[in-house]
Amino acid sequence: MQFLLFEPIHEAGLKVLAAAGEVRLASGTDEDTIIAEIGDIDGVIVRAKGALTRRIMEHAPRLKVAGRHGVGVDNIDVDAATELGIQVVNTPLAVVEGVAEQTLGLMLALSKRIVYTDARLRAGDFNVRYRTQGRELFGRTLGVIGFGRIGRRVAQVCHAAFEMPILYHDVVAAPEMEREIGARLAPLDDLLRTAEYITVHVPLLPETRRLIGEREFALMRPDAMFFNTSRGAVVDEAALYRALKERRIAGAGLDVFEQEPTAPDNPLFALDNIVVTPHISTTTEEGLVKMALVAEDVVAVLEGRPPKHPVNRVG
């Protein structure tokens, strides 16, 4: 078996691949480079850089399986893969805790003004304590947009730790979570008008691109705090900037951006009511191991066994 990695992966995944065949690291992640190197490849693993496009797959006559090191498959043309008989697999369980914890970390950092006061204290301004006021999460309403594995985990933690009432918006109801933590299914507009903390956990699809924009920010409470750890393009970043700049919402926490890497002069960085991190929520010791083990499904497909986490149906 011949395997091609778009980017390096954890040794745990490399061992799985190496036991089954030869592993190569692509010399670049642009389309032309991948095309030049994929001709004799049976399985690929894609991370954040580059994309597995139809054109690439059409130049890969032996390719049978594409593994996504992570959950979102927006950088894999799944429709083309299905047409060409290429199985796509991912690691939907690998990132749940990392992303949920990052979301909670952003909530706490923003609510307690941790980043701002850390910077002021390091600059010698101990008296910032007299000019800064945080707030508590306890008992405040959480609105979760996208109630899949990650959204549900965020809700569980916030409800257990801070007794936060939970509203959720999703195309699929979650009766078990309604019983477990009293979560309530709500129309999107009602959630936006009611929740004090709003967090987004949806995949990037045509219907979710810029799901949250000018109209949605206008519906939010002036004390609402907004968080996105899903995909940057789910949010209209310019609309978010205006809502924060004009203090129409209280604050925001982002781990993802419309363009990544985002520009150093991103206007959001000039605001003091936002906390940002560089798409790092899945980069934990545990998460990197679990994502690299997408290799197990890649090998399984090539050996004729059913994968644990198929994204599409082929054959």
Residue 305 designated active-site: no
Q: Which of 169, 231, 237, 296 is an active site residue? A: 231
Residue 83 designated active-site: no
Whether 122 contacts 111, CB under 8 Å: no
Q: Which of 97, 113, 279, 296 is an active site residue? A: 279
Other beta carbons within 10 angstroms of residue 150's beta carbon come to 26
Structure tokens belonging to residue 80: 């083309």
DSSP assignments along the chain, one per residue: -EEEESS---HHHHHHHHHHSEEEE-S--SHHHHHHH-TT-SEEEE-SSS-B-HHHHHT-TT--EEEESSS--TTB-HHHHHHTT-EEE--TTTTHHHHHHHHHHHHHHHHTTHHHHHHHHHTT-GGGGGT------TTPPEEEES-SHHHHHHHHHHHHHH---EEEE-SS--HHHHHHH--EE--HHHHHHH-SEEEE-----TTTTT-B-HHHHHHS-TT-EEEE-S-GGGB-HHHHHHHHHTTSSSEEEES--SSSSPPTT-GGGG-SSEEE--S-TT-SHHHHHHHHTHHHHHHHHHTTPPPSSBSS---
Structure tokens belonging to residue 129: 């304590």
Residue 231 designated active-site: yes
Q: Which of 83, 176, 214, 260 is an active site residue? A: 260
Q: Which residues are catalytic?
A: 231, 260, 279
